[in-house]
Amino acid sequence: MITYTKTVPTLLDTDVIVVGSGSAGASAAIASARAGARTVLVERLSFLGGTSTAVLDTFYGYYTPGKESKKVVGGIPDDVVRELGAFGAAFERPNTFGAGTGVTYDPELLKVVWERLALAAGVRLLLNSFCTDVVMEEGRVAGIIVDGKRGLMHLSARVVVDCTGDADVCARAGAPYERAGDIDPAQTLSTTFRMVNVDVERAQGFGKKEMWAKMTEAADSGLYRLPRREGSWHVTTQAGVIHTIMTRVADVDGTDPEALTEAEVEGRAQALEYARFLRDHVPGFERAQLSWLSSPIGVRETRRVYGEYRLTREDCLSARKFSDAIGACGAPIEDHHAGTDTKWLYVPEGETYDIPYRTLVPRQVRGLLVAGRCFSATHDAHASCRSMAQTMTMGQAAGSAAALSVKGDTLPHELFVPTLQDHLLGLGAKFGDLSAVTA
């Protein structure tokens, strides 16, 4: 923490502060406000959604993969899809990698959907504001310091929810965490891009395996710099427009601004190379033009906190059920490592594992919850449970827990979990039969 040389003015005092408005943070703020807590959502960008609006256009994790798709999320995730549907801006799309049916949407309209749901719930938005420090009182997070055009401002709260993706609040508060790459190799980063004027029917007819073969051939020729050899593209809500997940930037600490700057530059350079490859070698792309680059680059993992429980690879692959379940996941372990391919490991056919509430409760620091890709999990478990449907699920649970803690005049680590579970089930959340608990 910083020792300030001047008085930092207080902007507001509230019940719950949610920092970061990605799919986890937006969901947390909506859930908290709907549960009756005065809630502020702090976001460093000028819009809500984080990765869901700045990088990607498909929610994964809504359904289990395999022969039969089973829906495993509910509540706020359903509200988001319903509102997108009212715009005619979403459709379900089978996933060819086996991650399950995805919900593809228009990310620009999703910005509006997140805003409308948050404002309708009574959330106070604070955009263009970066959390730069925390305020501690006797081991409890009592507020945050934000920086923006007005300079440093103090916000106080009874509970803070860290949905920054990088565990920024947790790190500043002194909560323990593992930095991606310290134990297992960190997942790579990707700049996604879109292309217009694509003859989608011809491009789909060419086939995925044929495209990969051409990609390998082009890379081996030395004429194209393509670090990943099995990237993908998919249709969008707009005719003749495709969205890609192809680039791969490895060995980057996403919490280091210098390293992240280099990664942003490299990601955009790779995007141009992959776009050139598609135009030169894939039928249907001859007239295609690059129309959009993700900003910022897509970061898969940085800091992962050590919570009161740590989700493991074994938990995922054995479809483990927990007594403090707050959500479910059936997504495979999807490891975007530094090689040319991607490693996949699957949860048993048609099965799901539970997400324990304890993975949202950081050790050592009180008055603090975490949700999203910085929750408490090992590298492998994280590679399964970071799907946006699950980060929405975590956010819904963390926001609800924060509000219930305020209402009950307790701290999140002391919350009676069955009360939270009853509340979540009332919202439409889904998790395993508690009579089948194995942990």
The pLDDT of residue 436 is above 80: no
> Are 93 and 234 a contacting pair, CB within 8 Å?
yes
What is the band of 344 on the pLDDT scale with cuts at 50, 70, 90? confident
Side chain identity at residue 50, one-letter code: G
pLDDT in tens, 415-431: 999 999 999 999 999 99
pLDDT in tens, 276-303: 999 999 999 999 999 999 999 999 999 9
Q: What is the structure's pLDDT at 5?
A: 47
Mean pLDDT of 171-200: 95
Q: How far is CA 124 from CA 37, 121, 141, in A?
A: 11, 9, 20
Beta strands 16-19; 39-42: pairing state? parallel
Poorest-pLDDT segment among 8-17, 111-120, 132-141, 331-340: 331-340
Q: What is the structure's pLDDT at 61?
A: 94
What is the band of 341 on the pLDDT scale with cuts at 50, 70, 90? confident
pLDDT in tens, 134-166: 999 999 999 999 999 999 999 999 999 999 999
pLDDT in tens, 97-118: 677 899 999 999 999 999 999 9
* The two three-digit tokens of residue 311, written as one number: 């989700």
CA distance linking residue 186 with residue 251, whole number of Å:
7
CA distance linking residue 209 with residue 221, whole number of Å:
18
Poorest-pLDDT segment among 4-8, 28-32, 43-47, 207-211: 4-8
The pLDDT of residue 1 is above 70: no
The pLDDT of residue 350 is above 70: yes
CA distance linking residue 262 with residue 301, whole number of Å:
17
Q: What is the structure's pLDDT at 388?
A: 96
pTM listed for this prediction: 0.95
pLDDT in tens, 18-49: 999 999 999 999 999 999 999 999 999 999 99
CA distance linking residue 190 with residue 188, whole number of Å:
7
Nearest to 242 by CA among 204, 216, 269, 206: 204
User: How far separated are the first and last CA of the chain, in Å rounded?
Assistant: 37
Task: Please report, rounded to a whole number, the percentage of residues in the chain having pLDDT higher than 70.
Answer: 97
Average pLDDT over the chain, rounded to whole?
Answer: 94
What is the band of 435 on the pLDDT scale with cuts at 50, 70, 90? low
